Amino acid sequence: MLDVVWLIPAFPLAGFALILLFGRRLGDPKAGYLATLMCGAAFVVTAGVFFDLLSHSAEEREHVDTVFSWVPLGSLQVDMAFLADPLSITMCLFVTGIGTLIHLYAVGYMHGDPRFSKFFLYLNLFAVSMLLLVLGENMLVTFLGWEGVGTCSYLLISFWHERESAATAGKKAFVTNRVGDWGFMLAMFFAFQATGTLSYIGVNEAAGTMAQSTATAIALLCFIGAVGKSAQLPLYLWLPDAMEGPTPVSALIHAATMVTAGVFLMCRMSPILDAASSYAPTIIAIVGVATALFAATIAVAQNDIKKVLAYSTVSQLGYMFLAVGSGAYTAAIFHMVTHAFFKALLFLGSGAVIHGMHHEQDMRRMGALRKVMPVTAATFIVGWLAIAGVPPFAGFWSKDDILLAAYDKSPVLWILGLVTALLTAYYMTRQVIMVFYGEARWHDAHEEHGAHGDADPHESPAIMLLPLVVLAGLSIVGGGLNLPFSHTTERLAVWLEPVIGLHESETAKVPLAVIATVVALLGIALSVMVYAKHKAKPVEPQVLAEGWYYDRTVSRFMGGPGRKAFDAAAWYDATVVDGGVNGVGRLVRGTAQRIRTVQSGNVRNYAAAVGVGVVLLLAWFVVVRGSL
């Protein structure tokens, strides 16, 4: 199977091509099924490659599949090549697996949309790009996928482009991501200059002999790329706005897969990071934990069902960078996988709620929905327990791994991580209560709107519920991938060890796990007191609802001084540079008119004047300088 790694991205690419050509004819829902089928086929191939890799010994689990020579130029030789190893195949498995489920869900969710087939066109293109990103044998193929997912993200966020906010959000996502891409590009330039190759194998092998300053530069520039793509401080701004896209997009791109690309890149380049100065991982850990805490505080005061999840995603990605910065790459990947399970589940669940509520996203107009949406509610609750870190759900195990690593790095990081865990449990409980429990607040809302006959909330069709159930199952048992009981139960760590090494810890795990569990339960209990029992008033200050005014400040700056500066440049060009030229032109014309006293303005006359000038210059050369 290893020789057909190229088939993994080829299937969704074929889907893209087919829908591009026949999408309109296929229509709703056939185009959707085609796209789902292609993504599913990619999953099957990935599974085959996975088992093939398993059959090899740990050291031999690395296979390069070169398709063609992409950018060959002198000392720069870049192949369109794929690297199948435990890391990339782990990524591929969950990208194609969850991708297929979300494709299937979207067939139901997007039913009736006038641009149904176009949605799946973009979705399949996204799958191709994401697979190129993770499978790339070198940084440039990854960058191709990296920009590809960014472009698809742009297209899908602004999918309902008639809405001003959607169009703006798409543009914001693309431009902000490009800031990060600048870092990624420079990282590639440094790597090429230092090693003469862009291949991961080559660059990582050279890590040991590289100047430490070079390794630091590459690592930190890659991290700038990761900060953009994975929505960390200070570039996270685009992700909450990206919720303007259809909900399956939020689940697939802005929760499960694309936004984790930054974490993946850091793990891929981990030998470089290990070779860098020690302040590099520390910076990464600090940015990670700061983002985790910052976004969690904002999530506490959001009322839009998707905005809560968006800030929660930013926060959870922060955890992953905390893990990367602490040297626990396995923990980062582990949390990436479990997060993909439960966050995709939560987003799809919120999509089912929005779908069933006829595009209502304000949680203040929900409540008691568990009665009308039993399956959605049950699966959402599983997702909630998983993200809150309640044992034995998936999120508990992976978060615990990260907190352990953070503790080894510095107790301060660990405490900040714990506070984030408390807030996470708190705001997720708040969301579950506001949406599924309490009293039904949607009756009033609909009366206000002048209810239509069928305006009552309803459960979603089976095609949307099936993915929810599968993801709920994964969110329950996902922790089984990497149980900390013994070396053999740490399956993921053992599997990934040849690529990203092992994080050894001397710290006693059990007390930390107990503390983490207590903190999670405390968060839930607090939230229940406030939102279900109404024992205390909710703390939702405006400053948190507005995201610490960060977004607004940046927007004001861009729209104010930033725009003024750009305007000034345009004015300068029109007035000073061009004005100067025109002034010279007028001067010449005026002088010429006075000298020749002939009405001018005729180009031939100017040409003649230029000709005379040339002759004079020539004469000067010959007469004054004596030679040419």
Partner 1 sequence: MISFPILTMLVLVPTAGSLVVAAFSNRRPEWVKLTALLTSVLTGALSIWVLAAFDEANADFQFVSKHAWIKPWGISWHLGVDGISLFLVVLTGVLFPLVIAGTDPHHDHKRYLSWMLLLEAGLMGSFISLDLFLFFVFFEIVLVPMYFLIAGWGYEGRVHAAMKFFLFTMVGSAFMLVGVIATAFLAKGNGPLTFDLIELAKADFAPTTGRWLFFAFAVAFAVKVPIFPLHTWLPDAHTQAPTGGSVILAGVMLKLGTYGLLRFGVYLFPEAALWSRSLWLTLAVIGIIYGAIVATMQKDLKRLVAYSSVAHLGFIVLGTFAMTTQSISGSVMQNINHGVSTGALFLLVGMIYERRHTREISELKGLQKVAPIFAGVFMVVMLSSIGVPGLNGFVGEYLVLVGSFLTARWWTVVAATGVILAALYLLWAYQRVFHGEPDEANKGFGELKAREAAVLLPLVGVIVFTGVYPKPMLDRIEPSVKRLIEHVSDKTSYVEPQPAEEAP
Work out the end-to-end distance of the chain between its first and last CA atoms, rounded to an integer number of angstroms. Answer: 73
Residues of this chain, 153-182, that bind partner 1 according to CB under 8 A: 154, 158, 161-162, 164, 167-168, 170-171, 174-175, 178-179, 181-182
- 424: alpha, beta or left, given left = phi > 0 and alpha = psi -120 to 50? alpha
Is residue 505 part of the contact set for partner 1 (CB under 8 A)? Answer: no
| Of 172 and 355, CB closest to partner 1 | 172
Least distance (Å) between residue 69 CB and partner 1: 6
Least distance (Å) between residue 168 CB and partner 1: 7
Least distance (Å) between residue 192 CB and partner 1: 5
| Of 88 and 195, CB closest to partner 1 | 195
Q: Do the Cβ atoms of 534 and 404 come closer than 8 Å?
A: no
Could you write out the DSSP letters of every residue in 595-608? HH-S----HHHHHH
| Of 508 and 565, CB closest to partner 1 | 565
Residues of this chain, 93-132, that bind partner 1 according to CB under 8 A: 118
Is residue 599 part of the contact set for partner 1 (CB under 8 A)? Answer: no
Q: 371: burial class by Cβ within 10 Å (0-12, 13-18, 19+)?
A: exposed
- C-alpha–C-alpha distance, residues 14 and 289, integer Å: 41
Least distance (Å) between residue 70 CB and partner 1: 7
Residues of this chain, 212-251, that bind partner 1 according to CB under 8 A: 214
Q: How many residues bind partner 1 (CB under 8 A)?
A: 67
Candidates 210-218, 332-340, 454-462, 494-502; binding stretch for partner 1 (CB under 8 A): 210-218
- On the question of a cis peptide bond just before residue 248, with omega within 30 degrees of 0, the verdict is no
| Of 43 and 223, CB closest to partner 1 | 223
Candidates 68-76, 93-101, 350-358, 485-493; binding stretch for partner 1 (CB under 8 A): 68-76
| Of 543 and 618, CB closest to partner 1 | 618
Contact with partner 1 (CB under 8 A): which of 189, 279, 549, 557?
189
| Of 462 and 618, CB closest to partner 1 | 618
- C-alpha–C-alpha distance, residues 296 and 387, integer Å: 12
Is residue 570 part of the contact set for partner 1 (CB under 8 A)? Answer: yes
Contact with partner 1 (CB under 8 A): which of 28, 192, 415, 455?
192
Residue type, 266: M
Closest CA to 174 of 245, 113, 123: 245
Is residue 185 part of the contact set for partner 1 (CB under 8 A)? Answer: yes
Contact with partner 1 (CB under 8 A): which of 566, 583, 587, 591?
566
Is residue 560 part of the contact set for partner 1 (CB under 8 A)? Answer: no
Contact with partner 1 (CB under 8 A): which of 107, 194, 340, 404?
194
Contact with partner 1 (CB under 8 A): which of 107, 144, 292, 323?
144
* CA distances for 335 relative to 45, 75, 386, 451, angstroms: 24, 39, 11, 43
Is residue 193 part of the contact set for partner 1 (CB under 8 A)? Answer: yes
* Residues contacting residue 425 through CB under 8 Å, at least 6 positions apart: 388, 389, 390, 519, 520, 521, 522, 523, 524, 527
Least distance (Å) between residue 499 CB and partner 1: 23
Least distance (Å) between residue 582 CB and partner 1: 8
Side-chain-side CA neighbours of 145 within 13 Å: the count stands at 28
Task: Indicate the SS3 state at residue 163.
Answer: coil
Is residue 541 part of the contact set for partner 1 (CB under 8 A)? Answer: no
DSSP 304: B
Contact with partner 1 (CB under 8 A): which of 51, 279, 549, 621?
621
Q: Do the Cβ atoms of 483 and 489 come closer than 8 Å?
A: yes
Residues of this chain, 426-455, that bind partner 1 according to CB under 8 A: none
Sign of the alpha-carbon torsion through 172, 178, 179, 184: positive
Q: Do the Cβ atoms of 283 and 220 come closer than 8 Å?
A: yes
Candidates 143-151, 315-323, 421-429, 528-536; binding stretch for partner 1 (CB under 8 A): 143-151
Kindly state the tokens that stand for 242.
Answer: 């990206």
CA 521 to chain centre: 30
Q: What is the four-CA torsion angle of 389, 99, 154, 269, rounded to 10 degrees?
A: 70
How many residues belong to the chain? 628
Residue ranges in contact with partner 1 by CB under 8 A: 68-76, 118, 140, 143-144, 147-148, 151, 154, 158, 161-162, 164, 167-168, 170-171, 174-175, 178-179, 181-182, 185-186, 188-190, 192-197, 206, 209-211, 214, 566-567, 569-570, 573, 577-578, 581, 585, 603, 606-607, 610, 613-614, 617-618, 621, 627-628
